[in-house]
Structure 1
């Protein structure tokens, strides 16, 4: 009698048809287990937060695999000067000391779980490479610059007191300034779309009516009044904070007519209602999560509201015990005039608590902060400088490796904090606007912290900041009437 072929096809026989598929299934569904005498380890993929890193010279660097495991790593390629490689963790770290062009680096995880990933590192200078609002000049700060460094009237190339800045995935840039918001195509300093001024680039008035003239004070879907923060959803849709009209407007792709309003019952009203789940009073910033949920910071009511996707009724409030609360405070659950916001990849929320001169971090879905920047603890406020202090922070942003950048408006600088789990007393490790001097707070620092002189590396009351998908940093240099790109 002969045996059937299937009777020899045992799942523990390495030569059997089912061995490999069973081994793969077992390793994918179990962290560690024994299978037919084999010890299995489920190893995560080798991934990084970005494929192309843009690093500032003299800024500390820490780039590691997204999923941390101790292993045996190696690299191919030459690291920029000042950086080293940790063969145990796969981390690239140090302080880059030389400007470089994009350099490919191949990271190899040898064991456990062989994997290869190539990333690019580019070290750039801390001088901006592009400027909006001043016709390409870094030595001019005129409001509504005419092109000859003199102030005149608005047009599609100048700015006055820009506040917010954001970029879409195509490289287009949105800049808010006083009562208008402008869209600039990629790599152009000439805007091709204007919001809030009936299509007129030579107009910058509050609540211009939609009658085709630069005149009127009619609140409508097309008007703006002291526009502040800007948000861009993952699908490229625009959200604008219309502070003076106590609302946030949502514009569909490529349209300058909004389809949704937050904070008002319609497009023709603007009054600040009593604190509730549907009202807004002096909103300043907006953030959109990956699911389309909307966060709005409210200065007058000292709170952050979260609106679920598709709803204009908030379902969560930060800074107050309920939706009817409107008092300021100082704790890990209270705020004073919150401003800028940013969400991290884990869904955690960073908030610049402007009135308390600090930045708070809230884990996903929690209204209790677990980390504070700019103060030694959750019960201290007051503006300060140096590596440990902040003074009236506004805009905040995260770079490609989730280092935190803060527009420290009162100190005329943007500071960088490394990614950390420390909960307080966190020191900034790098600065823009003060020539690498964390102890200087002059507006338009002349380079030696001994006087003021406008230049490409100086800042004067910066507000909105933003990182685009390529790692380029945008800073709204508000009092210098320009936006800088690094």
Structure 2
């Protein structure tokens, strides 16, 4: 007896499949009741399921993000199997993704540039029917962040070993030589360290003891004091901003160190004379122009100094008074506020991380200064629009890629940002929160601690010195 089946009609259900059906009719009057049972039906067969509402996909069409499918709506009480499909940009030419058979799917690098569909197959005793979702938007890539050096803790360790296992102490700046070796200012260890293209780390200048000594001898036996910015000249000599010694040092290709600017006493005297007789005050960054002149970010003097190939020093930007007094004037008449980083573009324009003014400034070859990024208000607003209308926060670590895009670090913002050659700004790494998370994932979801120096290798990977974490981190393109 089928519970509740007492009407003139009966709709067959799944539990009837494989059986037969009879109808028992009981007639009743005043004389009593009589029952008659009709002939049995044929064997009940199953009806294949039918999809009435297509499966759907939710989630963000972005590498490393998770997509989730619904099964849609079906008749026939089927069970379900799922297959995720990789399609072209129009959603055509689907290819089954190996092992992607769950209700969720995490997008990978292989999906970038494609769209994704979900095929749901409903099955019951009557057969199987497949239904596919509409394709997603085209999957976009993300930059993946990873830790490449310093993961074993703060300190000094690792020379002669793979740099992944090395320890550093407040690495602040980086640069590459012409051979592709990476140089790191291991500021808290008072050393400059080199990572070969094979990944082996060593010390090229400094000892763990801070101080000033060693000119005229091997750089590895000399003392430095919290070195920061570095730059190579055209012949491969390494120049070091020996920041707390108020000097600029030079290491020849033969490994001999000397002083090329600064007497060691903090001050601002000496313009128009030999750089070795001049005073500097916390030189933080260095850069060379196309003809070999050396530029120094004289941080606490709020100036940019220039040392000619003949060794004569002068001020080319900044009055020595911290502040901001406008753009469109001669750079030497403009105020800066703790300039921290320098770089040149291919046209010979000098870019200055004007740290305390929350700006990036540009000085043309003709000596006129302007603001390239930032409004002067520290913050993170303005992504997706003109960099000149955006907020930036304590700018550091300027570097250009081969396409002319400028990258910079935000010490106070705990982010790395990019300005396209067309002047549009965006964030590329960091949540803005101070901390350490995110390795192996989307760089925008990672935390950093006052990122400082940036460098780009020949493959376009961006390296970030994360000084308060005592690590070097890497962003893949």
Measured against the shorter chain, the TM-score band is 0.5 to 0.7
**2:458 is aligned with 1:469:** yes
Is the alpha carbon distance of 1:457 and 1:253 closer, same or farther for their aligned partners in structure 2, counting shifts above 3 Å? farther
- Where relative contact order (Cα < 8 A, 6+ residues apart) is larger, the structure is 1
Task: Answer with 1 or 2: which has the greater Rg.
Answer: 2
For residues 380-459 of structure 1, the aligned pairs below 5 Å read 381-386=376-381, 387=383, 388-420=390-422, 427-434=424-431, 441-444=432-435, 457-459=446-448
1:422-475 C-alpha deviation (Å, 9 max, x unpaired): xxxx652232123xxxxxx2123767xxxxx99994321100111233322111
- CA apart distance, 1:193: 2.7
Contact 2:415 2:427 in 1 (8 A): no
Q: Report how many residues are paired.
A: 315
**Secondary structure of 2:356's partner?**
helix
- CA apart distance, 1:308: 1.5
Query: Distance between the aligned counterparts of 1:220 and 1:183, measured in 2?
Result: 12
- CA apart distance, 1:327: 4.7
1:98-132 C-alpha deviation (Å, 9 max, x unpaired): 8479xxxxxxxxxxxxxxxxxxxxx9751235611
Contact 1:209 1:220 in 2 (8 A): no
1:135-154 C-alpha deviation (Å, 9 max, x unpaired): 5xxxxxx312779xxxxxxx
- CA apart distance, 1:233: 2.5
**Displaced runs of 4 or more, over 6 A:** 453-456
For residues 4-153 of structure 1, the aligned pairs below 5 Å read 99=109, 125-128=142-145, 131-134=148-151, 142-144=153-155
Query: Distance between the aligned counterparts of 1:274 and 1:236, measured in 2?
Result: 29
Equivalent position of 1:353 in the other structure: 354
Q: TM-score, normalised by structure 1?
A: 0.58
Query: Distance between the aligned counterparts of 1:208 and 1:272, measured in 2?
Result: 14
For residues 140-219 of structure 1, the aligned pairs below 5 Å read 142-144=153-155, 157-177=166-186, 178=188, 179-188=190-199, 190-197=200-207, 204-207=208-211
- CA apart distance, 1:248: 0.8
Contact 1:465 1:476 in 2 (8 A): yes
Over aligned residues, Cα RMSD in angstroms?
Answer: 3.5
Q: 1:275 aligns with which of 269, 282, 293?
A: 269
**2:470 is aligned with 1:478:** no
**Secondary structure of 1:192's partner?**
strand
Is the alpha carbon distance of 1:339 and 1:100 closer, same or farther for their aligned partners in structure 2, counting shifts above 3 Å? farther
**Secondary structure of 2:145's partner?**
coil
Query: Distance between the aligned counterparts of 2:89 and 2:403, measured in 1?
Result: 19
Contact 2:358 2:393 in 1 (8 A): yes
Query: Distance between the aligned counterparts of 1:469 and 1:280, measured in 2?
Result: 34
Query: Distance between the aligned counterparts of 1:220 and 1:191, measured in 2?
Result: 14
Contact 1:275 1:301 in 2 (8 A): no
Is the alpha carbon distance of 1:473 and 1:454 closer, same or farther for their aligned partners in structure 2, counting shifts above 3 Å? closer
Q: 5+ residue gaps in structure 1? A: 1-56, 59-79, 83-96, 102-122, 136-141, 148-154, 198-203, 212-218, 265-269, 376-380, 421-425, 435-440, 448-452
**Secondary structure of 1:309's partner?**
coil
Equivalent position of 1:241 in the other structure: 241
Contact 1:330 1:336 in 2 (8 A): no
Is the alpha carbon distance of 1:361 and 1:274 closer, same or farther for their aligned partners in structure 2, counting shifts above 3 Å? closer
Contact 2:417 2:428 in 1 (8 A): yes
1:259-285 C-alpha deviation (Å, 9 max, x unpaired): 442122xxxxx2123433232111110
